[in-house]
Amino acid sequence: MSSEQAVLETRDLTINFGGHVAVNRVSCQFHKGTLTSIVGPNGAGKTTWFNLISGQLKATAGQVLLNGEDLTGLTAARRADKGLGRAFQLTNLFPNLTALENVRLAVAARHHIGHVFWQMASHRRDLTDRAMEYLTRVNLANRAGYLVSGLPHGDQRKLEVALMLALEPEVFMFDEPTAGMSVDEVPVILDLIADIKKQQDKVILLVEHKMDVVRSLSDRIVVLHNGELVADGEPAEVIASPVVQEAYLGASPDQQPEVAHG
Amino acid sequence: MLSRILSEDFPRSKTLTALLLVIVVSLALGPFLFDGIRAFTTLGMICVFIMVVAAYDLMLGYTHIVSFAHTMFFGIGAYGVAMAVDGMGNSFGAVLVGIIGALAVSFVLSLLLGLLSLRVKAIFFALVTLAVAFAFLSLVTQLYNITGGEDGMRVRVPRELGPAFRPFENSLPGIDVPTLLKGLLTQPWNIGQVWQEATFEVRFNGRNVMYYVLVAMATGVFLFLLRLVNSPFGRVLQAIRENEFRAEALGYRTVVYRTAVVILSALVATLAGAGFALINRYVNPENTLNFELMVFILLMCVIGGMGTLYGAIVGSTLFILAQNYLQDLLGWVGQYTAGIPLVENLLGEDHWLLWFGVLFVLSVYFFPAGVVGQLRIWALQRRNRKSPPPSGPEAEPVAQT
C-alpha cells in the first residue's frame, strides 16, 4: 500500500440479499493515477460491488470512503456530485431525448444548474459547447441531434461513456464499456480510457471480460469470486496465481479462449 | 421577439399553428365574436382549464407523475376565494386574502404529497393522491357550516367584476361568428342581411373585465410554463420522465425536482380555481372537486397531447366545446334524420354522451400521441421525406408517442 491517502476506499463492504451474501467484506483502496481492473466469473459480485460504491445499492455493512470522507449514508445523487462517476453495464440513457441533450444533462448536473428555470436551455452556449466537446471525444458529434432510442447499440455505449466524462468525476467506474461493441468501435473507448489514465490524477475502475484489454490497460487486477476478494496485485502476477486459475478461469471455462488469444 | 415569448418552443406544424391561432384569436376577442351567455361561459371555462390542464401536463406529460389530487388544489383555490368573500365582504382585499390563503394551503398540502413520493412511487403515489382527494371532498361536503356542503356557495364578486359595473358608456360593436358563418353558408347571396343579423351590441360589463383578467392569467401561466419546460430545469424533468434512475446517477436529487413540480402544478391549479370562482360566481363540490372533473382534466391532457403544453390549449378547447355543444350539434343533425328508424334514435340529443365517448375512442385511435403530438409527428415525417433526417446539434426531437 502506498503511503499517500487513497482516493477511494471500501472497508468491509458487504451486502446481503436475504441470506445470499453477494459482496462479502470487501476492503480495497484505490490511488490516484491508477487503473484497476476487476475480474471474476459472472455472478462474482463485480457489478454489485460497483452499485455499493456508487450508491445504487445500500450496503448491509461496511463503508465507502472518498478522500477520507464517509459516503456510506449518501444517496447515489450525492455520491455522483462528490465525484464518483459511473458508466453502466446495460445501457442506461434517456431514450426520447437527443444525444446532445443526454450529455448536456450531465454537464448541467456537474455545474449545478438543474434548478435554473428562467433561462432557455438552448441559450446556455457554455453547456452546449461542452456537451459537444464530449460527444466529439467519443466520436458522436455527427449524431448530436439524433434521438438516443434510434442510435445503434455501439453508439449508445459510447454515449454512456460521454455522460460519465461530462460529470468530470474523480473516480471513473467503467462496467464492461466495450460489451456488445463491434471490433472497430472498441479502440475509441480504449483510447479514451488510456487518455484519462494519462492525466495521472484520476482513479479508474474497470470491469472487463476481455483479458487482452485488461492486460494492456491495468496497473493492478482485483479478483472477485463469490462476492469475496480473492486476489489483488500486479496484472501478470495475479493472472498467473493459482487462486485465479482455479477460481476465475477454472470456474468459467467459456472464458478460457479469450485468455488464450490474449 | 416571438421566439423569446414562446421560449423557442413553436407549434412545429402548420396545421397546429393555424388551429392555435383560431383558438387564441377566438379567446382574445371572445366577447366580441360570440353572442350569448352560454358562449361567454364556455369561453371562460376554456381559459380556466387551459391553466389547469397545462399545470397537469407539467406533472403527467413532462415528469410522469400521475396525480389525482389536481382537482383538490383547484377546489382549494375556488373555495378559498368563495369563503374569503363570504366572510370579509366583496372587496378586492378579500379576494386577495382568499387567493393567498388558498395558495398557502395548497403549498403545504402539495409539499407533503411531493415528499411522500420519496417513499411511494408510481401507481401507489397515484392511489394515495386519490385517497387524499376523496378525503378532502368529503371534508368539504361535511363542513357545510363554512362550505355550504353539497349546495355550495355563491361567490359575491367585487362590483368591478360583476354585471353591474359598466366601464364604457356606450355599448361596443360585436359580430357573432357562428351566425355569420351559418348565413354565409346558407344564403351567401344575402350578405348584407347576413351581416346585419350577425352584428350585436356588446354591453361591456364587469364580467367581461373578469374574463379578460382570466385571459391574461391563462396567457401568463402558459408562457411561464412554456419557458419552464424549455429551461435546464425542464430538461431535468424530462430526464426524470425518461429514466429516473439515471437522472439520480447523474447527481440530480430527483425527489427535490418531483416535489417542486407537484407544488408548482398545485399552485397553478389553485390560481385557476380562484379564477373559476370569480367568473362562475358559484362553487360547489361538483364543479370543483368531483372525481369526474379529475377524469375530464386527464382526458383533456391526453387528447391534446401529453408533454407538449400546447396540448393543454387544444385539449381543453376541444373537450369543453364538445361537452357544451355536442348536444346542439346532434339536435341539428337530428332535424335531417328524423323519420329514419334507428338512425333517428342513435342521433337523438339524449344520446350525446354516447357520441362523446365515441369521439374519444376515435381521437385516441387516430391521434395516439394526442392532437398536438400527432400533428407534430406528421409534420416531421413530411419534412423528412423532403430532406434527410436531423443532423444539427439543435435538431428538433420527436414528440413522445
Contact residues on chain B for A114, CB-CB shorter than 8 A: 232-233, 235-236, 252, 257
Examine the domain organization and report whether A114 and A45 are in the same domain.
no
pLDDT at site B95? 92
Evaluate whether residue A190 is within a structural domain. Answer: no
Per-residue confidence at B160, pLDDT binned at 50, 70, 90? confident
In B91-209, where do the E strands start and end? 153-154, 172-175, 199-202
CB contact under 8 A, B238 and A104: no
Q: How many helices (H) and strands (E) does chain A have?
A: 10, 10
pLDDT at residue A116 greater than cutoff 70: yes
Mean pLDDT computed over B369-384: 88
DSSP B269-321: HHHHHHHHHHHH-EE-HHHHT-HHHHHHHHHHHHHH-TT-SHHHHHHHHHHHH
Contact check, Cβ <8 Å, A120/B227: yes
B107 and B262 Cβ atoms separated by less than 8 Å:
no
Residue ranges covered by each domain of chain B: 2-167+204-386
Residue A195, domain member (yes or no): no
Residue A213 in domain: yes
Asked if A104 and B391 come within 8 Å (Cβ–Cβ), the reply is no
**For the segment B63-72, what is each residue's pLDDT rounded down to a tens digit?**
999 999 999 9
Give just the sign of the alpha carbon dihedral B5, B11, B16, B18.
positive
CATH code at position A5: 3.40.50.300
Residue scoring higher pLDDT (B256 or B380): B256
Using CB atoms, pick whichever of B8, B233, B392 lies closest to residue A116.
B233
User: Can you give the pLDDT at residue A44?
Assistant: 87
Q: What is the distance between the alpha carbons of residues A47 and A49, in angstroms, rounded to a whole number?
A: 5
Contacts of A116 in chain B (CB under 8 A): 231-233
Is there a domain that residue A221 lies in?
A: yes
In a domain, A157, yes or no: yes
* pLDDT 10s digits, B327-366: 888 888 777 777 777 777 777 777 778 888 888 889 888 9
Task: List, for residues A168-222, the tens digit of each pLDDT value.
Answer: 999 999 998 888 888 888 888 898 899 888 888 889 999 988 888 888 889 999 9
- Inter-CA distances, B327 with B23, B171, B185, Å: 21, 32, 21
For chain A, what is the domain count? 2
CB-based contact A96 B390, cutoff 8 Å: no
Contact residues, chain B to chain A, C-beta under 8 Å: 7-8, 227-228, 230-236, 238-239, 242-243, 245-254, 257, 389-395, 397-398, 400
Cβ distance B400 to A114 less than 8 Å, yes or no, reads no
DSSP state of A219: S
Range of the domain at A143: 92-168
CATH class of B2-167+204-386: mainly alpha
In a domain, A192, yes or no: no
Average model confidence (pLDDT) for chain B? 88
3-state secondary structure of A185: coil
Read off the pLDDT of residues B117-144 as tens digits, 9 standing for 90 and up: 777 878 899 999 999 999 999 999 999 8
Residues A46 and A5 in one domain: yes
CA dist., res. B157 & res. A1, Å (int)? 78
Tell me if B243 and A144 make a contact (CB, 8 A cut-off): no
Identify the pLDDT of residue B13: 86
Taking CA–CA distances from B237, the nearest residue in chain A reads: A114
**Rounded Cα distance, B306 and B60, in Å:** 7
What percentage of chain A's residues is helix, strand, coil (to nearest 5)? 40, 25, 35
The amino acid at B191: I
**pLDDT averaged over every residue in chain A:** 86
Name the band, by pLDDT with cuts 50, 70 and 90, for residue B395.
very low
Minimal Cα distance from A133: which residue of B?
B393
Whether this model's ipTM surpasses 0.90 comes out as no
Cβ–Cβ under 8 Å, residues A156 and A51: no
Interface test with B, best of A92, A105, A129 (most B CBs within 10 A): A105
- pTM, full prediction: 0.89
The model's pLDDT over B189-213, given as tens digits with 9 standing for 90+, comes to 888 888 888 888 888 888 999 999 9
**Mean pLDDT on A65-75:** 91
Q: CA dihedral in degrees (A28, A34, A40, A44; nearest 10)?
A: 40
Phi and psi at residue A231, in whole multiples of 5°? -155, 150
Residues of A in contact with B7 (CB under 8 A): 120
For A91, nearest residue in chain B (alpha carbons): B246
Closest by CA position to A204, among listed A215, A186, A188, A220: A220
Q: ∠B276-B92-B320 over CA atoms, to 5°? A: 10
Residue in A178, A189, A164, A185 with CA at minimum distance from that of residue A211: A178
Give the minimum alpha-carbon distance from B330 to chain A in angstroms, rounded to a whole number: 41
CB A216 within 8 A of CB A239: no
Q: Please check whether residues A22 and A144 belong to one and the same domain.
A: no
CA distance A25 to A226: 11
Tell me, yes or no, whether A9 and A68 share the same domain: yes
Chain B residues close to A110, C-beta within 8 Å: 251
Chain centre to alpha carbon of residue B343:
34
Q: Does A177 lie in the same domain as A159?
A: no
> Residue B398 above 70 pLDDT?
no
Cβ–Cβ of A80/B249 closer than 8 Å? yes
Instruction: Return the percentage of chain B with pLDDT > 70, whole number.
Output: 96
What single-letter DSSP state applies at residue A123?
G
Residues A62 and A119 in one domain: no
Q: Quick: pLDDT tens for B8-25.
A: 888 888 889 999 999 999
Is the Cβ–Cβ distance between B309 and B222 less than 8 Å? yes
Q: What is the pLDDT of residues B206-262, one digit of tens each?
A: 899 999 999 999 999 999 999 999 999 999 999 999 999 999 999 999 999 999 999
* Whole-number pLDDT of residue A254: 45
Nearest to B231 among A86, A105, A116 (CB): A116
Mean pLDDT is lowest, of A245-259, B44-58, B98-112, B293-307, for: A245-259
